[in-house]
């Protein structure tokens, strides 16, 4: 089989994997647009309803410590299947939930699936695209799976609700879509099982911290945590900020402007994918993305003019979403073996979850204690600086490996 055929097969498989990620995200993000209906149905307040999404984050944090070990047992394709099974259970248990506690439990199950998927996607990309220089673009496209599913659900929720007559109808539709995705995954994604198991094999039992046994992997995990903190503050707080008297937007306008970051985030992910295929020193690219991510954090709540806020929303999407694809591409330099790369990939979500969980509470506490939204720039700047320092240290330690691999690839051609 020639190189062209191999590449074609890799892209066909990747497209299917990306579609499965989007299908998962459609189910994952069915809750935010249904929040009002869910609160009325379960007769609960906003605080309790907050757990409809927070339960997913808690589950993602818990499972992140074990995904490396699980992946060595069932492989990355098995992880993808497990993720879709979790989302199917999320929808089924949720639509049949007799009370709010069971409904929250259904969301916890969905969060477990999110942890499986976050590990499986990048690992499958590393398996399909053997040449490290060719992973930048698929990694950048993969980083859009959440945004793609979220956009589809947010824009189709009203239509599905009107067609089915209730939020339960939306849940049944999501369940049907996920079941179709499961069938396509099992029979449509062609990955050699022996090859995938060889890639993730780690020579024995894998401990939860197996992906965090080197300074290089810790540096990437910390960078991911810093990105997640900055991004999560905007995601959680922007709609509220835009509706304050400081800015003066109504609810519809605030939600619309906040969603700009999703669209520009997709654009940023695609742009950085092209950059990663052109620049040999990928650790240097990581440094550049953290500089921009820090800038995005500092400017989030500094401006009050509506025109300026729209520009900020555009820049936050562009400057933050370029970080995850760069991290995925640089994971290969944090480990010396293919199995080690898989473990680093599995460890990265640990940083993402730990960075995201405290973001909104810290930002909210600062606003309440100081009365100033602009003061949120202080922790965002500090966190961004920590991530930037870690990226610089990583470049100093691993830049030579990336450059050496790129030079070897050029010489081979």
Q: How confident is the model at residue 3 (pLDDT cuts 50, 70, 90)?
A: very low
Q: What's CA 141's distance to the chain center, in Å?
A: 12
> pTM of this prediction?
0.70
Residues written for the chain:
413
Per-chain mean pLDDT for the chain: 83
pLDDT > 90: percent of the chain: 37
**Residues 80 and 117 sit within 8 Å (Cβ to Cβ):** yes
Which two structure tokens, joined as six digits, stand for 10? 């890799």
28 burial (CB, 10 Å; 0-12 / 13-18 / 19+) is buried
pLDDT one-digit tens code per residue, 342-375: 677 767 877 887 887 777 778 878 887 888 999 9
DSSP letter for 50, please: T
- Structure confidence at residue 225 (pLDDT): 93
Rounded CA gap, 190 and 200, in Å? 17
pLDDT one-digit tens code per residue, 274-307: 888 888 888 999 999 999 999 999 999 999 898 9
Look up tokens 């400057």; give the residue: 319
């Amino acid at each position: 089989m020639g190189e062209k055929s191999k590449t074609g097969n890799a892209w066909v498989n990747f497209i299917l994997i990306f579609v499965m990620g989007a299908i998962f995200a459609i189910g994952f993000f069915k809750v935010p647009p249904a929040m009002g209906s869910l609160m009325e149905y379960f007769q609960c307040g906003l605080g309790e309803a907050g757990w409809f999404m927070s339960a997913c984050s808690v589950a993602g944090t818990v499972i992140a410590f074990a995904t490396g070990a699980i992946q060595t047992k069932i492989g990355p394709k098995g992880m993808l299947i497990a993720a879709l099974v979790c989302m199917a259970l999320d929808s089924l248990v949720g639509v049949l939930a007799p009370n709010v506690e069971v409904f929250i439990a259904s969301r916890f199950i969905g969060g477990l699936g999110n942890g499986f998927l976050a590990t499986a996607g990048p690992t499958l990309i590393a398996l399909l695209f053997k040449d490290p220089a060719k992973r930048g673009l698929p990694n950048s496209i993969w980083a859009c799976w959440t945004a793609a599913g979220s956009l589809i659900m947010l824009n189709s929720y009203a239509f599905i609700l009107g067609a089915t007559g209730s939020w339960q109808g939306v849940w049944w539709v999501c369940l049907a879509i996920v079941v179709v995705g499961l069938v396509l995954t099992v029979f449509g994604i062609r990955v050699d099982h022996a090859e995938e198991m060889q890639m993730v094999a780690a020579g024995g039992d894998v401990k939860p911290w197996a992906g965090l046994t080197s300074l290089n992997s810790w540096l990437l995990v910390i960078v991911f945590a810093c990105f997640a903190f900055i991004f999560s503050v905007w995601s959680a707080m922007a709609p509220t900020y835009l509706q304050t008297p400081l800015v003066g937007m109504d609810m519809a306008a605030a939600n619309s402007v906040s969603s700009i970051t999703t669209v520009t985030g997709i654009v940023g992910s695609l742009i950085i994918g092209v950059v990663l295929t052109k620049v040999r020193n990928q650790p240097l690219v990581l440094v550049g993305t953290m500089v921009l991510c820090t800038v995005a954090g500092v400017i989030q709540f500094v401006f009050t003019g509506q025109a300026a806020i729209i520009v900020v929303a555009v820049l936050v999407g562009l400057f933050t979403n370029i970080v995850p694809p760069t991290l995925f591409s640089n994971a290969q330099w944090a480990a010396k073996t293919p199995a080690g790369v898989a473990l680093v990939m599995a460890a990265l979500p640990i940083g993402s979850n730990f960075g995201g969980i405290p973001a909104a509470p810290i930002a909210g506490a600062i606003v309440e204690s100081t009365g100033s939204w602009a003061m949120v720039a202080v922790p965002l700047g500090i966190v961004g600086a920590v991530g930037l320092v870690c990226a610089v240290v990583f470049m100093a330690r691993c830049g030579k490996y990336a450059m050496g691999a790129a030079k070897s690839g050029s010489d081979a051609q």
